[in-house]
Structure 1
C-alpha cells in the first residue's frame, strides 16, 4: 500500500480517521506487528507503513533502516550519562540540577576579570564545554532516538534495553536523575545564573516522548518506568508553563519561542493534557506563523542573525514540527495563511534557491552552510502538499552525496 502524508482539513477529519483505522488494521493483520499509536513528532501511519515495507522486503526502505541501524549500533556501545557527570556544581549546590553557559558570551577584554561577559552572536566560546550537561543530554537524546526507532523496526530487544537504560539514568534513577527544571540554563558569568533562553537546550524531550511510545511494546519497558516518566514530564511541563523562565520563553519572538511551543505541545500530548496543547497551537498562529514569516517567505527574526540560513532552516523545521503536532489534534497549520498571506510553503520556497546555491545569500552566514539541513523540510513538504518540486529538489541534494532517513518517519 502506497500512501502520502497529507494535512488534515476540517471537512476531511472523518475520512482521515477512517483511513487511519484502515492502516492500523492492515498493519496489525497483514504485517504481523503491533502498530504504534500516539507519536507526537511523526505521523503514526507513516512509520507503520515504513515497517510494513521493510517486512515485505522493500529495498529502498531497508536501505534507510540500515543507515538508522548503524547509528543505533554505535549507541549500543555508548555510556549512559547523567547530570551527575559534570564537574561544575550549580548555584543551588545540587548536581541533579542541569546547568549550562550561554554559548555566545565571552570575557570582556577591557575588564581585568573579564566580567561581565559580552555577547558575540554566532561565535561559540569553547569555555562552555566544561558544562557537560548540554552535550551529554544531546548525545543521550540522539542515542535513545536511534535505539527506540531501530527497536520498533527490528524488534530486537537489545536496542530497547539500551534505550531504557539511558532513559532511566537521565530521568528515573534517584541517584542520577535530572531535576525537572532548567533554572540554570545558559547563564552568563557576571550577569546571571540562568536565563529563559536556556530552554532552547531541551527540545529533545519531544524525541524522548516518542521514544517512550515506541518502547511500550518492549517487555523491558515496565509500568513503573512509564509512571516515572509521566511524573517527570508533568513536572517539567508545569515548570515550563508557570516559572518565570518558562513564561518569558513562551513569548520569545524567534526560534526560541518555536521550540518552547514544541516542548509544551509534546509533553502535554504525552501526559494526556491535550487542552494545553491546543491552546499553545492556537496561540502559535499569531505568535509564530504571523510573527515569523513575512510575505516573501523570509523569516526576518532569523535572517537578522549572523547565521541567517542556519537559523532559518532551524526555525522552519520547528514550525513544520508544530504543524505535524497540530494535525494530530485536528488543526491545519500547513495551509494557514498569516496576515501577510505567507505560509509554510512560502517560507520553504524562499530558502530553496539558497540551498541549491542558485542565489548568493542576502544575509549573514558566518559558518558553513549544510545542504542536508533542508532535506527533512523538503520531504515533509512533499508529503504535506504533494508538490513534485519538493521531491525534485530533495533528490537533487541527495544526488550531491547527502543522505536523509526522514522517509522512515513521514
Structure 2
C-alpha cells in the first residue's frame, strides 16, 4: 500500500514538473510564455485579461467540426482530393476571350472565385483554431482544449480518410496556364506557427508522443517535397517575399523535425537575400513595386525576416544584427517603414487597400525586445488595441 501511494505521489509530482517546464517552441519565446503562465496562475490582472481572451475563443471552438482537404468540391488533376489545391488569387478571366482562358493577372485584386476551392481557407482555419486551443490548454491544463486540438490535427494530417498529402503540387493554379505553381507554397506558411501550437500541447493526454512523432513525420515528408520538387525549387529561387517566407518555412520545419543543421544552413544562405531585397536606406524595392507596397513590405518583414531572426536564435545564426558592407539590414527596413505605417509620412508608393497600422504592432513589440529599444515599444503603444495586438502582447510583450 505504501509503495502504491509513493508511486501515485511520484507520478503526480512528475506531471506537475513536466507541466511547469518551458515548452519547446520556436517563433514564440519559451521563457516569456512560461513567465506569462506563472503570472496568470498568480492571478496577475494583466495576464488574466490576456488569457481570458484566449479562453473565450477556445471555448467557442470546443464543438467545432473539423475540416479537411476532402471537403472541397473540386478534384485536383491527380484525381485525389487528398492533394491540396488552390487558385491564383490575382488572376481573372480574360474579357477578350469567350471562355476567359488563359486568365490574366491583376496584381493585388483578389478574385472571389478562389473561395470555391476551400483548402487554403480550411488550412488557415485549422491552424488558427489550434492556436487558441493550444494556448488555452497551456495556460489552464484543461484536457478538453487539447482533445479538440488533437482532433483537428488528426483529421488534417493523420486520419487515412481525410489527411492531406504532404505536397502543394496544385497550389495557386492559373486556369488555362498551369495546374499549380511554386508561388503557391506561401499558402502553407501557417504551418510554421502550428509547430509552436503543437509544442504547447506537449504533456497532454490527447496528443501523445507517438502522435506528435507521426505529425513530425508528415512535416518531414512535406519538407522533403519543398526541397526537391520543381515547385519547391522554383519558390526557393524567388527573389521577393516568397523566397524569404520559403526560407522561414524550411527553417521552422527543420527545427520542428530535429534537423538543426538544415536550419542553420538555410538561415545562413538566407542572409544573401538582404543584399537583394533591401536598400541601404531600408526600402524593399521588390515589395514597393507591388500594388500594395506597404502591406507587402510589412509582410516580408513580419512573416519573413522577423520569423527567420526568431528561428535563428535556435540555430546560432544572428539575423537581428546582420548588416551588409553597404549598410543593408532588416532593422534599416523596419526603420524606413515605421513612419509610413504610423501615417507620420505621406505614402508615395501604390497602396490600393487601406493600410492598417496594427500590421506593424508585432514588428515593433519584437524589435523593442530584441534591440532593447524603448522607442519601438513607445511607437507600438500608439497603435490602437484590437484582438490581434492583445494576442501579440500575450506572446511577446
TM more than 0.5: yes
1:316 to 290, 301, 322: 301
- Within 5 A, what are the aligned runs for 1:232-271? 232-271=218-257
Task: After superposing the two structures, state which structure 1 stretch, 38-47 or 297-306, moved more.
Answer: 38-47
SS in 2 for 1:89: coil
Alignment match, 2:140: 154
Q: Residues 52 and 170 from structure 1, CA distance in 2 versus in 1: closer, same or farther, beyond 3 angstroms?
A: same
Cα offsets for 1:220-256 (capped at 9, x unmatched): 1123312211221110000000001101101211111
- Displaced runs of 4 or more, over 4 A: 28-32, 399-402
The aligned residue for residue 5 of structure 1 is none
- Distance in 2 (CA, whole Å) between partners of 1:304 and 1:62 is 43
Aligned to 1:294: 279
Q: Give how far 1:394 is off.
A: 0.8
Matched, 1:120 2:106: yes
| Count, aligned residues | 382
Higher relative contact order (CA 8 A, sep 6+): 1
Distance 1:381 1:30, change over 3 A: farther
Asked if 1:343 corresponds to 2:329, the answer is: yes
Measured on the aligned residues, the alpha-carbon RMSD in Å equals 1.9
Question: How many Å separate the matches in 1 of 2:269 and 2:176?
Answer: 35
State the Cα distance separating 1:402 from its structure 2 match.
Answer: 7.8
Residue aligned with 2:337, SS: helix
Q: Per-residue deviation at 1:32?
A: 8.9
Deviations 1:330-370 (A, max 9, x none): 22111111243022222111121112211111111101111
Contact 2:362/2:389 (<8 A) preserved: no
1:223 is aligned to 2:199: no
Structure 1 residue runs of 5 or longer lacking an equivalent are 1-27
Choose the corresponding residue for 1:203, options 178, 183, 189.
189
- The answer as to whether partners of 1:255 and 1:315 remain within 8 angstroms in 2 is yes
Residue 106 of structure 1, aligned match among 74, 89, 92: 92
| SS at 1:96 equivalent | coil
Q: Summarize the Cα distance change of 1:173–1:369 in structure 2 as closer, same or farther, 3 Å threshold.
A: same
For residues 181-204 of structure 1, the C-alpha deviation after alignment (integer angstroms, 9 at most, x for no partner) is 000000000000000000000011
Give the structure 2 partner of residue 390 of structure 1: 376
After superposition, the C-alpha distances for 1:88-122 in whole angstroms (9 at most, x for unaligned) are 00000000000000000000011111110000000
Summarize the Cα distance change of 1:402–1:157 in structure 2 as closer, same or farther, 3 Å threshold.
Answer: closer
How much does 1:258 deviate? 1.3
Please identify, of 64-73 and 177-186, the stretch whose mean Cα deviation from structure 2 is larger: 64-73
Equivalent residues of 1:290, 1:339 under 8 A apart: no
Matches of 2:226 and 2:346 in 1, distance apart?
Answer: 39
Q: 1:236 to 1:375 in 2, by over 3 A?
A: same
CA distance in 1, matches of 2:73, 2:47: 43
**Separation in 2 of the partners of 1:87 and 1:292?**
39
* Secondary structure of 1:100's aligned partner: strand
Task: Find the counterpart in structure 2 of residue 366 from structure 1.
Answer: 352
**Could you tell me how far 1:398 is from its partner in structure 2?**
3.2
Deviations 1:299-347 (A, max 9, x none): 1111110001111111100200100000111221111112430222221
SS at 1:409's partner residue?
helix
| Aligned partner of residue 86 in structure 2, secondary structure | strand
Normalised by the length of structure 2, the TM-score is 0.92
The SS at the match of 2:20 is coil
TM-superposed CA distance for 1:401, in Å, is 9.8
Give the Cα separation in 2 of the matches to 1:240 and 1:214.
Answer: 26
Unpaired stretches in structure 2, ≥5 consecutive residues? 1-13
Corresponding position: 1:60 with 2:38: no
Distance in 1 between residues matched to 2:166 and 2:148, nearest whole Å: 22
